[in-house]
Structure 1
Amino acid sequence: MTDRVEAPLTFREIFNLPVSVDLRTAARAFGMCLGTAYRLVAEGAFPCPTVRVGWRHRVLTVELLRALGIEERPVFADEVADGIALTLFD
């Protein structure tokens, strides 16, 4: 483990996350180092629920987004230009 904080996730990275993420990715979303994330999980104070899978902790992306205060996925201008957003709302 390292105490350095990795670059926080960008909005685009957050909106392209899979169904669940590892604790490192969730920590990046909150702008904290992995050591702090593990400490908060152990204290039961991580900003969103985690699921223990073997020795690892996973975070459901829907819970991560909720903890970040993100209620819905925005539509980006380049997605509209590419026709991707149109299929989302049909």
Structure 2
Amino acid sequence: MKGLTLAELQQLPATVDLLTAARALGLGRTKAYELAKQGEFPCRIIRVGVAYLVPTAELLKLLGVELPVDNRRT
């Protein structure tokens, strides 16, 4: 599974599916689901029905990636 570039990481939505988070962390599908089921995935997981969602802000923090700050006032 190919990792994500910095530009791709910075464009992620508020939450991502488990496989996208795993890809960002360099984990394979099987290992990601195994860790999620054991409650040992390296960042918080939100369970929505049968889906696993990962908050992007927490994923980026784990990776040490800061989002660009938009200082424009609306």
Determine if the TM-score, normalized by the shorter chain, exceeds 0.5. yes
Q: Of the two structures, which has the highest relative contact order with CA contacts closer than 8 Å and spacing of 6 or more?
A: 2
Report the identity percentage. Answer: 47
Equivalence for 1:73: 67
Structure 1 segments, 4+ long, off by >3 Å, are none
What TM-score do you get using the length of structure 1 for normalisation?
0.73
Which has the higher Rg, Structure 1 or Structure 2? 1
Which secondary structure does the structure 1 equivalent of 2:9 belong to?
helix
Q: Which runs of 5+ in 2 are unaligned?
A: none
What is the CA RMSD across the aligned residues, in angstroms?
1.4
- CA-to-partner distance for each residue in 1:18-44, whole Å, 9 max, x for gaps? 000000100000011111000011122
Unaligned runs of 5+ in 1: 1-5, 76-87
Structure-2 separation of matches of 1:66 and 1:73: 10
State the number of aligned residues. 72
Q: Name the aligned partner's letter for residue 45 of structure 1.
A: E
DSSP 3-state at the match of 2:47: strand
Which residue type is aligned with residue 25 of structure 1?
A: T
Where does residue 10 of structure 1 map in the other structure?
5
